[in-house]
Chain A
Amino acid sequence: MLEAFSYDFMQRALLAAVFMSVSCATISTFVVLRGLSFMGAGVAHAALGGIGLAVFIGINPLLGALLFALLLALVAGYAGRKGSAKRMDVAIGVFFAFGMALGVLFISLLEEYAVQFWALIFGDILAVSDLDLMLMAAMASIVVISVALFFREFLSITFDFEAALASGINATFYHYFMLVLIALSVVVALKCVGVLLVFAMLTAPAAAAYELSKTVRGMLLLSVAFALTSSISGLIISFYVPLATSALIVIILSSIFFVSLVVPSRK
């Protein structure tokens, strides 16, 4: 197994898998508890428009994805600033389609660069560059440090948004902040699992952990453990068997979720 990681591309892929797993699984705890799953899907698809724009103007596609992901987070946050999930869903849905439409438009304009799009649509963790890794490390660090610092604030707005607001906490700020962290996590995962499969990274680890945890802290740690197990084992299997890494990661993760549904709960 260690032989797999003697290659430079596998070492980079391993680091990318760790950054993705830690950031996505950390924030997925709040995605699941606040019922923001659609936000993850929306950000990922909207990011396609940003990727297209980035390829068009010749910058790193992750930067374009980051711009559109943050824009969607702000639009969705504004729509749901009073805690209304329904209004947020509508705003995400519209931006989701807008981002996809832009992405398709750019793909049709830039056919010679189509390979860059496909790498971000289905993920290509084995082709992560040093610049990608640096961007992913920075974004994953922001997500993990922010959740560690503001864990109680995030828990408070998740438990009861209005009571948090009424207590004098700047609940609206933490609401936006959480959405920005979701957007960052999606961008971290794009290169690893792609636009279409990133949704699984934002929901399945925490959804499985929810079934087995007594506390949100326990849920968060278990969620990270599930995501790390899936991404690293998916990476190793794909080294020996010629199968798509992103698909393997998501299939293993989804299997963990299905098993968690039938395992007797400790709650």
Chain B
Amino acid sequence: MPATGSEEALRLEGVTVAYGGVVALEDVSFSLHKGGFLCVAGPNGAGKTTLLRTILGLLRPRNGEIYVLGEKLDRRNAARLRRRMGYVPQLDRAERDIPVLMEDIVLMGYLPQLRPPRTLRKADFGNVLELLRIDELKGKPFSQLSGGQQQRVLIARALVGDPEILLLDEPFSGVDPLSQRIILEALCSLKENGTTIILVTHDINPLFRVADLFLFLKGRVVACGGADDVFNEETLRRVYGANVRVFTTDGEKHAAIGDYHA
């Protein structure tokens, strides 16, 4: 699989992951350079979330090796390497009914760096709140925010620790178009500043111009490459099945997967 750039942020070599005997990911290999943007896509059950959890060291592969920021990931260094990564899980994983203010959730991102006793000031947010345009939401309970606002708060939580690699699991799921645009702009800005981004999504269309590398999974790697190499009907059919069409409008490619009307 192609490696782009010289300095690697991440490399997987023949990684196989199984849950209780059932193989979720098989023989996955790819690499990503520092500051790169990887879009991971595939149908439900393709192993996308499993891939993120394996990179974070939350799951141990049955076979294969993972190198994160130049270090081989193992049991001993997993927690330390996780502190250099930011993770945004799927929104529905969070207990959204807990009475907690937006800023208290963002401040959770500092916890791995600061041990008690500690004082956390609101000024410690840096420019993260402005980047995700949630500064005006200070003082509001998380449960009262829209899905898009909640997603931006969770991304801010992952960013306050200044991660070198940011991993996002379906960040556009249940998110309004405005929030989706704000998140995309924030990710582009982070990429410009050298943050490596790995984003799992069902909807690859918004990422056509943004991601450097597309990894299509279906239990194993079906295709991996730049947008021009893999954004075509033949590849997408191999990933999603027969109901795939790729349209070009104003020079931009769009994929209609599963629900288009011919």
Tell me the B52-105 residues at the A interface (CB within 8 Å): 53, 56, 58, 79-80, 82-83, 85-89, 93-95, 98-101, 104-105
A219 contacts B99, C-beta separation under 8 Å: yes
B residues in contact with A215, CB < 8 Å: 99-101, 104, 141
A159 contacts B99, C-beta separation under 8 Å: no
Which residue on A lies nearest to B100, using beta carbons? A216
Name the residue in B53, B87, B141, B158 with the highest tally of chain A Cβ atoms < 10 Å from its Cβ.
Answer: B87
Other-chain contact of B93, A163, A170, A210, A218 (Cβ < 8 Å): A163
Which residue on B lies nearest to A148, using beta carbons? B116
Tell me the A244-260 residues at the B interface (CB within 8 Å): none
A160 contacts B89, C-beta separation under 8 Å: yes
A159 contacts B100, C-beta separation under 8 Å: yes
B residues in contact with A149, CB < 8 Å: 116-117
Tell me the A8-34 residues at the B interface (CB within 8 Å): 33
Tell me, in angstroms, the Cα distance from A158 to B83 when the chains sit together.
19
B83 contacts A167, C-beta separation under 8 Å: yes
A residues in contact with B111, CB < 8 Å: 152-153, 156, 164, 167, 169
Which residue on A lies nearest to B87, using beta carbons? A166
A residues in contact with B53, CB < 8 Å: 166
Q: Quick check: is A213 within 8 A (CB to CB) of the other chain?
A: yes
Nearest CB on A from B197, distance (A): 16
Nearest CB on B from A202, distance (A): 18
Nearest CB on A from B255, distance (A): 30
Nearest CB on B from A81, distance (A): 12
In the complex where A166-B82, A167-B83, A167-B109 touch, is A213 in contact with B99 (Cβ < 8 A)? Answer: yes
Which residue on A lies nearest to B78, using beta carbons? A168
1/0 contact string of B141-172 vs chain A (CB within 8 Å): 10100000000001001100100000000000
Which residue on B lies nearest to A167, using beta carbons? B112
B residues in contact with A159, CB < 8 Å: 94-95, 98, 100, 105, 108
Tell me, in angstroms, the Cα distance from A153 to B101 when the chains sit together.
15
A residues in contact with B143, CB < 8 Å: 267
Tell me, in angstroms, the Cα distance from A210 to B141 when the chains sit together.
13
Q: Quick check: is A98 within 8 A (CB to CB) of the other chain?
A: no
Tell me, in angstroms, the Cα distance from A165 to B94 when the chains sit together.
13
Chain B residue total in the interface (Cβ 8 A): 35
B108 contacts A166, C-beta separation under 8 Å: no
In the complex where A162-B58, A214-B141, A215-B104 touch, is A33 in contact with B95 (Cβ < 8 A)? Answer: yes
A residues in contact with B83, CB < 8 Å: 167-168
A216 contacts B94, C-beta separation under 8 Å: no
Q: Quick check: is B204 within 8 A (CB to CB) of the other chain?
A: no
1/0 contact string of B91-135 vs chain A (CB within 8 Å): 001110011110011011101100011001000000000000000
Nearest CB on A from B154, distance (A): 8
Name the residue in A33, A158, A162 with the highest tally of chain B Cβ atoms < 10 Å from its Cβ.
Answer: A162
A160 contacts B95, C-beta separation under 8 Å: yes
Other-chain contact of B108, A33, A164, A165 (Cβ < 8 Å): A164
Tell me, in angstroms, the Cα distance from A218 to B158 when the chains sit together.
25
Nearest CB on A from B17, distance (A): 15
Write 28 A-B pairs (CB below 8 A) sorted by A numbering.
A149-B117, A152-B111, A153-B111, A155-B104, A159-B94, A162-B89, A162-B93, A163-B87, A163-B88, A163-B94, A163-B157, A166-B58, A166-B82, A166-B85, A166-B87, A167-B82, A167-B109, A167-B112, A167-B161, A168-B79, A169-B111, A170-B79, A210-B99, A215-B104, A216-B98, A216-B100, A267-B99, A267-B143
Going nearest first, the 9 A-B pairs with the smallest beta carbon separation are A168-B112, A168-B83, A166-B87, A168-B82, A149-B116, A160-B94, A156-B108, A166-B56, A163-B89
B residues lining the A interface (CB < 8 Å):
53, 56, 58, 79-80, 82-83, 85-89, 93-95, 98-101, 104-105, 107-109, 111-112, 116-117, 120, 141, 143, 154, 157-158, 161
